[in-house]
C-alpha cells in the first residue's frame, strides 16, 4: 500500500480494521499536551496516548503506547476508569495492539508525518513500539467458582 501521500490524520485501513493519528490534545485534568491516536472497535472510535521514549543518546527514540480506550479524545490524561475508558476483551486488546503497531509503521511512510514521528539529521525513530503496563483496561475472563 502506497502511503506516501496519505493525509496525516485520515483513517488508514489494515486487515484487522482501521486506525488514525489524531494529533495533540490538552488533557482536561493535567492540562498537559498528549499526542493521540484512534482505533475503531465495534463501530465506535476510541482514543489513546502515544509518546516518544528517548534512548540514552538523547536524540534517537522509540514509541510507547501510554494508554488507550477513551471514548472522547479530550478525556486523555484522566485516570483510566470504567466511566472514562472502555474495558476490552483480551482478543480486542490484541487486535488494537496490532492495529497500533501497523499505524506507527504506516506513519513513517507519510510525506507529512505526525509530529511524534518527526526525524532530524541526528534524531531518528528506531522502529520499536512498546506498550506500557496497564495501557488499556482488559476484562478479567478467568472463570471463578
Q: Enumerate the domain spans of the chain.
A: 12-138
Helix (H) / strand (E) element for 129: namely: strand 125-131
Using the Cα atoms of residue 102, residue 108, residue 110 and residue 114 in order, give the sign of their dihedral: positive
Determine what percent of the chain is predicted with pLDDT higher than 70. Answer: 92
Over residues 54-64, the pLDDT tens digits come to: 999 999 999 99
Torsion of CA 117, 119, 124, 128, to 10 degrees: 10
**Paired strand residues for 36:** 23, 49
Residue of 59, 33, 43, 39 lying closest to 101 (CA atoms): 39
29: pLDDT confidence band, cut at 50, 70 and 90? low
140: pLDDT confidence band, cut at 50, 70 and 90? confident
pLDDT for 23 = 86
How far, CA to CA in Å, does 139 sit from each of 33, 48, 136? 29, 18, 10
pLDDT for 7 = 78
pLDDT for 130 = 98
The pTM (predicted TM-score) of the whole model is 0.88
Amino acid at each position: 500500500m502506497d502511503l506516501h501521500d496519505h493525509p496525516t490524520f485520515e483513517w488508514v485501513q489494515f486487515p484487522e480494521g482501521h486506525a488514525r493519528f489524531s494529533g495533540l490534545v490538552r488533557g482536561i485534568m493535567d492540562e498537559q499536551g498528549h499526542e493521540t491516536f484512534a482505533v475503531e472497535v465495534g463501530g465506535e472510535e476510541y482514543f489513546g496516548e502515544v509518546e516518544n521514549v528517548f534512548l540514552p543518546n538523547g536524540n534517537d527514540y522509540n514509541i510507547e503506547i501510554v494508554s488507550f480506550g477513551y471514548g472522547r479524545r479530550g478525556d486523555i490524561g484522566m485516570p483510566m476508569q470504567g466511566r472514562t475508558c472502555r474495558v476490552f476483551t483480551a482478543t480486542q486488546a490484541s487486535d488494537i495492539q496490532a492495529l497500533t503497531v501497523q499505524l506507527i509503521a504506516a506513519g513513517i511512510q507519510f510525506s507529512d508525518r505526525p509530529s511524534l514521528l518527526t526525524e532530524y539529521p541526528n534524531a531518528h525513530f528506531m522502529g520499536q513500539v512498546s506498550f506500557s503496563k496497564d495501557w488499556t483496561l482488559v476484562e478479567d475472563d478467568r472463570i471463578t467458582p
